[in-house]
Amino acid sequence: GEKQGETVLTEQAQQMQQLIERELKRARITGRAAIGQHFCPEQDLHDLAETVKALHHRKPLQIDLDIDAPQCIALDQNDMLELAGNLLDNAAKWAQHRIRLQLKTNSELFLSLEDDGPGIDPELREALLARGQRLDENQPGHGLGLAIVNDITGLYGGTMQLDESSDFKGLRVTIILPLS
């Protein structure tokens, strides 16, 4: 009937919209910040850390930022905020008290984030990088956050590694992005 035809059209339109948005995002990402604001690590990450602390205000979180980078880098600010924001939010969910974010640049951008939470078993780390896998269903968004970070890292041709923090014994996420 007519109603069914409309529903199909609406669904197709929504799928098209999603496809277009995804393509635009990909163009923006691979455009190496030709569009959009550049990423300014010191300021952007400081603001992000304050936001994450406010969001998780029930916990006495200490977020240490160790940044050794130019004032601004030719990477898209939104992508980098999404990447670092997901990492910080994820760490804040699991950390007891301490999170350390280190960022430095040379020919590559090196970002490492550690927390003093329970960490992740080595066998589960791989599964977590597959989109949407969650380790703990009671903690919403745990797997998705890291999967988003993994996607952004991949779009920039970078690498992401999960292991144990030698200092804090929680999870350490290391991301390396090539800088053109």
On whether both 11 and 67 belong to a single domain, the answer is: no
Note the pLDDT tens digit of each residue in 37-91: 899 999 999 999 999 999 999 999 999 999 999 999 989 898 999 999 999 998 9
Mean per-residue pLDDT over the chain, rounded: 83
Query: Residue 25 has what pLDDT?
Result: 63
On whether both 53 and 140 belong to a single domain, the answer is: yes
Helix 122-129 × helix 142-155 angle, to 10°: 70
Query: Residue 157 has what pLDDT?
Result: 95
On whether both 9 and 52 belong to a single domain, the answer is: no
Q: Domain count of the chain? A: 2
Alpha-carbon gap, residue 32 to 65, rounded angstroms: 25
On whether both 123 and 77 belong to a single domain, the answer is: yes
* Residues 6 or more apart in contact with residue 51 via CB below 8 angstroms: 85
On whether both 3 and 55 belong to a single domain, the answer is: no
On whether both 26 and 66 belong to a single domain, the answer is: no
**What is the span of the domain harbouring residue 92?**
36-178
Top-ranked range on mean pLDDT: pick from 32-36, 77-81, 130-134: 77-81
On whether both 92 and 107 belong to a single domain, the answer is: yes
On whether both 101 and 60 belong to a single domain, the answer is: yes
Who wins on pLDDT, 23 or 100? 100
Query: Residue 176 has what pLDDT?
Result: 97
The CATH number covering residue 117 comes to: 3.30.565.10
Taking residues 140-160, what's their average pLDDT? 81
On whether both 11 and 47 belong to a single domain, the answer is: no
Alpha-carbon gap, residue 133 to 171, rounded angstroms: 16
Using the predicted structure, report yes or no on whether residue 18 has a pLDDT greater than 80: no
Query: Residue 141 has what pLDDT?
Result: 44
Who wins on pLDDT, 111 or 20? 111
On whether both 115 and 51 belong to a single domain, the answer is: yes
Query: Residue 126 has what pLDDT?
Result: 72
DSSP assigned state of 37: P
With contact defined as beta carbons under 8 Å apart, do 134 and 146 qualify?
no
50-59, 98-107, 129-138: least confident range: 129-138
On whether both 173 and 104 belong to a single domain, the answer is: yes
On whether both 64 and 1 belong to a single domain, the answer is: no
